[in-house]
Amino acid sequence: MGIGAGVAAAAAAAVVAVVLNPPATGSIEAGKDSSAATSGSTSVDGSAERAPLMTLAGSIKTVTPATGDAWLVKATQVHGTKTMQVVYTLYTDGHAIYTGNSVQDIKRAIARHQDQMADGGYAPLLKAAVAAADSSPADGRTQMLKAAKEPLVGLDPAAQKAVWDKQQADVQVIIKQKGGNAAPKPYSPQAVQRHLDNALWTYSTLALSAGDGNTQVRAGVLRLLSTIPAVSVTNSTTHGKATLTITAGPEVFGGEGSEVLTVDATTGMLVEDVSTMPGLPRALTTYESSRVTTADL
The residue ranking higher by pLDDT, 271 or 193, is: 271
Portion of the chain with pLDDT greater than 70, in percent: 84
Residue 289 has pLDDT above 90, yes or no: yes
The region of weakest confidence among 114-128, 147-161, 259-273, 281-295 is: 114-128
Residue 25's pLDDT is what? 30
Residue 250 carries which DSSP code? G
Residue 209 has pLDDT above 50, yes or no: yes
Question: CA–CA separation, 141 vs 53, rounded Å?
Answer: 15
Mean pLDDT calculated for residue range 5-27: 36
Phi-psi bin for 38: left (phi > 0), alpha (psi -120 to 50), beta? alpha
The region of weakest confidence among 12-16, 121-125, 263-267 is: 12-16
**227-270: per-residue pLDDT in tens?**
999 999 999 999 999 999 999 988 888 788 899 999 999 999 99
* Domains identified in the chain, total number: 1
Kind plus residue range of the DSSP H or E element containing 254: none
Residue 24 has pLDDT above 90, yes or no: no
Q: Is the dihedral of CA 165, 149, 15, 216 positive or negative?
A: negative
Residue 254 lies in a domain: yes
The region of weakest confidence among 18-27, 146-155, 216-225, 276-285 is: 18-27
Question: Domain range for residue 182?
Answer: 6-296
Residues 6+ apart with CB under 8 A from 219: 57, 58, 60, 61, 132, 133, 268
pLDDT band at 182 (very low <50, low <70, confident <90, very high): confident
Residue 1 lies in a domain: no
The residue ranking higher by pLDDT, 190 or 11, is: 190
The model carries a pTM of 0.83
**37-86: per-residue pLDDT in tens?**
334 433 344 477 789 999 999 999 888 887 999 999 999 999 999 999 99
Residue 236 lies in a domain: yes
The residue ranking higher by pLDDT, 279 or 64, is: 279
CB atoms within 10 A of CB 101: 12
Residue 271 lies in a domain: yes
Tell me the pLDDT of the chain averaged across its residues: 85
The residue ranking higher by pLDDT, 110 or 36, is: 110
Say if residue 207 is exposed, middle or buried (CB neighbours under 10 Å; 0-12, 13-18, 19+): buried
- Alpha carbon dihedral 129, 135, 137, 142, in 10-degree steps, equals -60
Question: CA–CA separation, 184 vs 15, rounded Å?
Answer: 18
**194 residue type, one letter:** R
Structural contact between residues 97 and 91, judged by C-beta atoms closer than 8 angstroms: yes
The residue ranking higher by pLDDT, 190 or 66, is: 190
Phi and psi at residue 131, to the nearest 5°? -65, -35
Residue 167's pLDDT is what? 93
